[in-house]
Chains A and B, each alone.
Chain A
């Protein structure tokens, strides 16, 4: 050991360890960057003291730093943590002279990676929500029976198999168009976006399923990226999302027109059961047949009733009936005339009898005689007479001149005049 190196002169001033450490402490603790910094690494040597303070080492593959989390700050941290967790912590650096160590005094601790993603997720969610991309009125209705179903997912794994199986079971010959994409990792989002666009341009497709199996937030991340959300929102065709498990909702699920809890449910949502449709159609067809038959029967009957009108079948009736009408009229006319004539004849007879009875000469024929004075006036009372008066006595065939001898008045009854 060479104690006297010629390059280094003998020191004029020697610092104590304390002085040195104090200087270092001043440098570190007065640095603006080091006073408030986020740093991330894996937790190791975690000690949770009874006092509530925590001590641990944050490390990556090349360096370590000690960390202290005081009880007061620890209470404000909601996440749990343990050795091996990859976290990001916020705090200030300090130097602890008694041990000659520096450490970070932790004020906040969040899961790293996930923490950042989670924040991005919340930020995008808020943004898209504000734009109204999740609004129920934006949701497109699923077609009742699509001509074809587009699927954007990984070509391998259970998801695509589940969807195919369910759709096949429900509708054997339903066309399925798979756009195979990466569902995680670099470039996944871009592939998903292009898949959605490609299926939108495909006229054979009426509804689109985007699907992925369960996974961590990082695994599902592509479905939380804005371009994917925009592509779903811009899709003119209804999109059903089946991403991850029911509990991990992605942005894609929120923008999609319908969210399915699992890929199988997505298959059920997009296609009806063919057998039920066929059955329904069959029943409707029978009803249609029955009602068509009934309609035809009713119309036939109506037609028969109208077309068998006797005048249409035998138009001669039109004339014959009128001929009969004329005959009837003539007959009626005749009978009316006869009655009229008969009445006249009858009346004539009656009048003739009456006339005959009123002829003053009539009684003369039967033996009565009529007395008149010489002027021809009928004498029908003795009061018109005086003795010796000359009168004419009329007979049917002539008259005789007479003289009144005596006048005698009846007590009752008629007078008596004799010659």
Chain B
């Protein structure tokens, strides 16, 4: 297991819900992975563990929603591209 950056962890647990809401998927995911690593590391203090748990839950929720949204967009687009519209050109009307 890679060494955990203690300062990074300390910053992580200070994140507010508002701040988490503003994160993009990749940042949220990276933070979630750090949270998990920190949680699984032996010797994490109990208080820190609990805070990590709270932050981790918020991050996981955010990531899950982002993934669902991405999938939804993809499915919708696939539907619309399969039925493109095409206006035929009328030289008598449009030409001069």
Contacts and interface: CB of A to CB of B under 8 A. Distances in A.
Contacts of B96: 177-180
A307 B70 CA distance: 18
B57 interface: yes
Given A289-B78, A311-B49, A296 B64 contact: no
A175 B32 CA distance: 53
Contacts of A303: 29, 32, 60, 63-64, 67
B39 interface: yes
B95 A311 contact: no
Interface residues of B, number: 32
A48 interface: no
A236 to B, nearest CB: 20
Contacts of A299: 25, 29, 67, 70
A173 B87 contact: yes
Interface string B33-53: 101100110000010011011
Interface string A315-351: 1001100100000000000000000000000000000
B18 interface: no
A309 B56 contact: yes
B91 interface: yes
A390 B53 CA distance: 94
B1 interface: no
22 contacts: A176-B89, A177-B96, A178-B95, A178-B96, A289-B78, A292-B74, A296-B70, A299-B25, A299-B70, A302-B29, A303-B32, A303-B60, A303-B64, A306-B35, A306-B60, A307-B60, A309-B36, A311-B39, A311-B40, A311-B56, A318-B39, A318-B50
Interface of A: 164, 172-180, 285, 289, 292-293, 296, 299-300, 302-303, 306-307, 309, 311-312, 315, 318-319, 322
